[in-house]
Chains A and B, each alone.
Chain A
């Protein structure tokens, strides 16, 4: 049974999900997984959709974009390989938090350092706050640290790059946050 990935981005407003799911339903599709977020005024979502009747993706895409165009939204579809996912290597979840003045190139430098250790970024948020009139950026990365990589190594790499960029950084196992805040 074929699947496709659908992403929809554009101006956030009420009724977006209702519109998308109705169109998918009329094409006999079933939403298997979905995630959405809103950054400032912009809506972004990603769907994994089952297409049991093998409707042509071009046709579904046209229906979606025609319906969404007037809502300042656009849809993009691509087929998804139906093969079983490769076995995932064992990892440990860590959270990297940085805080410092918002400068161009900061995110690229920090994410580059994370990638250099083959860490996958599972979640990433950047929050801009004002600290005494200066834009300060807090970045929170949830990363998967491969088991072969020492967390001290991750900390050292992050401290090196963050110190060069003038950022405070902390690296902690994810469990501590859940343990403290969740019953």
Chain B
């Protein structure tokens, strides 16, 4: 017999605290679709995706309905297109992008990810063609996301790729200038990209994965915040260790929800169940914010001194609770701090509490990086590359994933507002200090060698 508290607290988490499953992502390998014939390749991948994902949305809705937990987004990730479509030039890559977008539209998923390349050590012909195609591909598609891995702890940082990505981001912004550079919101540059991320824009199907797999991204910043608030109401003198324990217990509950939904969806679709990604993923809604958690912990705003420590505690507690709750954990697993996608973080940036440099410091202890950061339109490609290089260095040295999703908004300057709409949110453009002072460093190219794995202080 269930007890009343179990029932009522679950309902409260769903109805008042925005507990949901943020995404169920179906990973689909396209590696065996390889062909030298572009139309044949496009036909094959279209059929593969639309066949495997035909029932994805309906099954997610059915399972979500059965448990009373909304599955907010249904998404698809595919093998890195730079590998699967390696024979094609950039025009061909754009056609592949259109095919992916059409397939996503026809099975009614929110996004499809995997228009990407893994170039941490070097760029092959297919990689260069794909990166060259990114600006146009992001312009002419609606649901397709792109991610490029330019660094890893084992390979170091490919600075040629970093330089190229700075230029690519600028070009993507220019092509979507009428939409505040929206193309860049679907483009991420990674260090140590995990092969099983279910969250966009970084989701792709790793080459070491099965033929198809269900990965789940849970959510729950609102649930964590309310749990902290309740704990402090009961015990206003609670110390941080006690609050870390509250976060851990809450993360356990949130993760269990993802686990049960993901396993059931995988069972019905007869697809292998992959991982649960434990990330706290905010949305631009009040009560669904990672930034609000910082305030509940006692900081005036995210970004003020103490924020890195608070984030380290939050991130670690989420992982501890989540790891116990799931049989397989993966993806990014931590707290996201995407500026425009979190009302509270965007407000802290507008108020001057959160600057680019503090955000960068915080990314050394959280799961992603400089995420959904709108920058002045005159930020040079080299400065973008330099910001990316700094972020990649944090990931490389700390053996963790870091990423940059930077949007240099054409024609806008620091302090201007930018609107991306939907989950991508809105924000004020953050100033970039010392723009255009990194060109010589970036233009040297080459690579930053992989770091020692000992002598790690």
* Chain A interfacial positions (CB closer than 8 Å to B): 95, 97, 123, 125, 127, 138, 140, 142, 151-152, 155, 170-181
Contact = CB atoms under 8 A, between A and B. Distances in A.
B4 interface: yes
Given A155-B65, A176-B67, A95 B7 contact: yes
Contacts of B259: 179
A172 B4 contact: no
A171 B67 CA distance: 8
A180 B256 CA distance: 6
Given A173-B67, A176-B257, A180-B10, 5 more contacts: A172-B68, A173-B68, A180-B13, A180-B256, A180-B257
B7 to A, nearest CB: 5
B1 interface: yes
B260 A127 contact: no
Given A140-B7, A170-B11, A180 B253 contact: yes
B250 to A, nearest CB: 10
Nearest to A168: B15
Categorize the interface residue count of chain B.
20 to 34
Contacts of A170: 11, 14-15, 68
B65 A151 contact: yes
Contacts of B257: 176, 179-180
A131 B8 CA distance: 15
Given A152-B65, A155-B65, A181-B253, A176 B10 contact: yes
Contacts of B4: 125, 127, 138, 140
B444 interface: no
B172 to A, nearest CB: 41
B28 to A, nearest CB: 28
Contact of A179 (B1, B8, B68, B256): B256
18 contacts: A127-B4, A140-B2, A140-B4, A151-B65, A172-B10, A172-B66, A172-B68, A173-B67, A174-B2, A175-B67, A176-B67, A176-B68, A176-B69, A177-B6, A178-B2, A180-B253, A180-B256, A181-B6
A79 B99 CA distance: 72
Given A151-B65, A170-B11, A180-B10, A95 B256 contact: no
A171 B2 contact: no
Nearest to B15: A170
A177 B260 contact: no
B253 A171 contact: no
Which 10 interchain pairs have the tightest Cβ spacing? Answer: A172-B68, A176-B67, A181-B6, A180-B253, A179-B260, A179-B256, A173-B66, A177-B6, A180-B256, A177-B2
B66 A177 contact: no
B306 to A, nearest CB: 31
A177 B66 CA distance: 12
Interface string B405-448: 00000000000000000000000000000000000000000000
Contacts of B260: 175-176, 179
Nearest to B62: A152
A173 B65 CA distance: 9
A29 B69 CA distance: 48
Q: Which of B11, B13, B253 has most chain A Cβ within 10 Å?
A: B11
Given A171-B68, A175-B67, A181 B8 contact: no
A122 to B, nearest CB: 8
